Amino acid sequence: MTAQLLDGRELARQLQEEIQAEVAAFVRQVGVTPGLAAVLVGDDPASQVYVRNKQKACERVGIASWLHRLPSTVTTDELLQLVARLNTDDGVHGILVQLPLPPQVDTLRVLDAVTPLKDVDGFHPENVGLLVQGRPRFVPCTPLGIQRLLERHGVDTAGRAAVVVGRSDTVGKPMALLLAARGRGGDATVTICHSRTPDLGAVTRTADILIVAIGQAHCVTAEMVKPGAVVVDVGINRTDSGLVGDVDFAGVREVASLITPVPGGVGPLTVTMLLANTLTAARISQN
């Protein structure tokens, strides 16, 4: 068996076409253009690439975007002042604070300062609480993109055994909540694994759906995967041979039924879900 690819690039293109049409209809209806403000601190090359990709995506779908660049020496108070201004700017519907922030900045204070109604990353405690209760407002973009990827490829999650490797607030925990939620894209039986899980392979081999987001290159190998499983690799690791995922792609592809490539799998959908959340935020602002 050689697994079929879960092509994130192609699905992102399709979804962005749909979002573009929805944005145009929204603008015609209410006369307001959805707007996203990004805050970029320092000169981290990866962060600059991510933000540039998000700006280009906004342009493609008709969302206005602004980039606020700050030096790596910025203080927590200076960042909080900028966030406060963006919170009260009626033209800004979504606020994105690009992570990571420098060590002198209190990251949680900054993220918590973003008004929940403009928190398009879904990181604010209020939005996390709504997700836990099964009535989400904004879902973190990577897990939401994975849910769309599974849905559009006809992967039925109901009653399936799902294993999430990684317990981060941005991917692992919200991914588990989405898979366990009632209704479409959920109803799975979910296990969360992490760096302290003994005999990780014994757990991952139980998964019909395996989501790997642990940040270790090639940490999941073929013998750790159930034959016929759906494998989603969230990892992006820079190595001497280029970008690789958390999954040993070549080996696991011979065992799984569906698998995401790295790059070109989850990444494009993360950006796309940011656009969807920004449109949602603009709609909320009109209520």
For 216, the token pair is 């270790």
Contact criterion met (CB below 8 Å) for 267 and 7 = no
What integer pLDDT is reported at residue 43 of this predicted model? Answer: 86
CB atoms within 10 A of CB 130: 17
For 200, the token pair is 């990780």
- Domain 31-124, CATH homologous superfamily name and number: Leucine Dehydrogenase, chain A, domain 1 (3.40.50.10860)
The third-level CATH classification (topology) of the domain covering 141-266 is Rossmann fold (3.40.50)
Mean pLDDT of 193-211: 97
The neighbouring-strand residues paired with 210 are 163, 231
Within the chain, which residue ranges are assigned CATH 3.40.50.10860? 31-124
Q: What is the pLDDT of residues 74-93, one digit of tens each?
A: 999 999 999 999 999 999 99
Q: Over 90: is that where the pLDDT of 243 sits? A: no
Predicted TM-score of the model (pTM):
0.95
Question: In whole angstroms, what is the distance from residue 204 CA to residue 191 CA?
Answer: 9
Q: What is the pLDDT of residues 40-80, one digit of tens each?
A: 999 888 888 888 899 999 999 999 999 999 999 999 999 99
What integer pLDDT is reported at residue 281 of this predicted model? Answer: 98
What integer pLDDT is reported at residue 96 of this predicted model? Answer: 96
Mean pLDDT of 238-260: 94
What integer pLDDT is reported at residue 24 of this predicted model? Answer: 98
State percent of the chain over pLDDT 90: 93
Nearest to 142 by CA among 231, 47, 265, 244: 265
Contact criterion met (CB below 8 Å) for 93 and 35 = yes
State the pairing for strand pair 209-212/230-233: parallel
Within the chain, which residue ranges are assigned CATH 3.40.50.720? 141-266
The H or E element containing residue 45 is helix 45-61
What integer pLDDT is reported at residue 44 of this predicted model? Answer: 82
Mean pLDDT of 190-195: 96
Specify the amino acid at residue 280: T
Residue-averaged pLDDT of the chain: 96
Specify the amino acid at residue 38: A
Catalytic residue IDs: 54, 98, 121
Question: In whole angstroms, what is the distance from residue 204 CA to residue 248 CA?
Answer: 14
Q: What is the pLDDT of residues 126-165, one digit of tens each?
A: 999 999 999 999 999 999 999 999 999 999 999 999 999 9
What integer pLDDT is reported at residue 239 of this predicted model? Answer: 87
Q: Over 90: is that where the pLDDT of 238 sits? A: no
For 35, the token pair is 């707007």
For 238, the token pair is 């820079």
